[in-house]
A and B are shown apart, each in its own frame.
Chain A
């Protein structure tokens, strides 16, 4: 009985030590990731002002998932989404080329509904910007890249009522080593 108690006590100490390590590590990593994100989004404009994008709207290898309309003419993409409220519409998967971070900048006119634009790696959103209302939607975002070698730029519907209509006037992707 005493042996079992001692074993339980010792195990508890080990668990507490492990939980402490996990706690410190998880707090540090999540806060440093957030700090990195703020640094990169706040200074993004200055960083990309003089740089040529690695990809833009016309050079990205777009594939379509379910949009009713998706056309790129004269440097502008016109899109009418499917009626799926949050369905993926168009995406472009590119090689990261060993980059450690990516910046995305876009300028969209939402005529009806809403839209989500962002970056995915391994099927997980790593940078995301959304709007639920019509009007100008110009944003920039940054994300740290994981070990995977590819990166997906995604345009998705964001309209609980169904179809959205929008024009993507520019979309630029910058990769950083």
Chain B
């Protein structure tokens, strides 16, 4: 029942959005003839289908209407503006690139009116959607009743989660307000839970989450069977709040429940494949378009200013704590303490060209070869010297989590201002926290965003780069 309303609601949204896109294309067509632009017939005849295609591609990419997952209003708002923006970019690219229309610009009436229409529609449709979603439960004659049984930290957190997103079901809250710690035996607990299931079915609860510590349950199947008898869906959520203050990530391996300390998107092989493909394409482009002409120039200047090789290689800690040779343009005079001492401001080991390439981060460019070799990624936690990894691993308890993924040329910590020398342990802690945040929330869009912000920060000049 809850799915019936969810699907009706989502299909109404899809239909309304499609009608708006068709409306916008009609407005565009209506005013297109009034401008000086030399439109071609193919463009005018296929305008609506092209506009719909420009809408559908971002809809599918951003999963605007997710039918399989729980409906989340925050995600819907976020994906709405992303989809509308991507639609606009695709539409303008389509006109510019495929039709190369003369005298076309963004300021023509058809563009302004159709865009205004879509933006106003975007605002009012989302207000209407929010209103309908928040009032839907009142209009449904027989709502789908959901409740929680069990009063503990986990059940309170679960109730908060359900309350945030229970648009299509009637959440009755936590139906018992007595903590299970007052029960003295499994038998007493079993009797109370059995009665609770019976009473819940009498008041019309169709789905009930039982949240208790596993030690209170003797035979879970007995409660499942009891709930089946009353035609109620019973779900058991183990309460581990007494075991750990932290949160777990859970998954199912065949039929086994697996608890993990954290969820890592890059553990999925498909995500790793996407990241690798991005790394290879990006590195090839940088090597062909930038390094092909910059390498000889920098090599000449480095060689001219000090004796030694053009490239500096150093053993650094990579993925799974394995060492690899990290390549850089040599920015210092050849010295014996480079493997243990970090570069600092006004370091007299740095050559004049070295100062420039360090400031502009050009010294990191050879690491694109490391990316192609598979030791590094374009985006990821920066690799540290082996000695530093060893030292900081003793000082920071979750330091090695950053080594669950490949190290990167740039990373979230670097664009957040945590690059350069780490004088205090707290500096490194901040960097590690940013790195772990990246590991836990990886997405391809995030990688692209980090690359883009790195370019901007480098062009602006980072004061931590020296």
A binds B: no
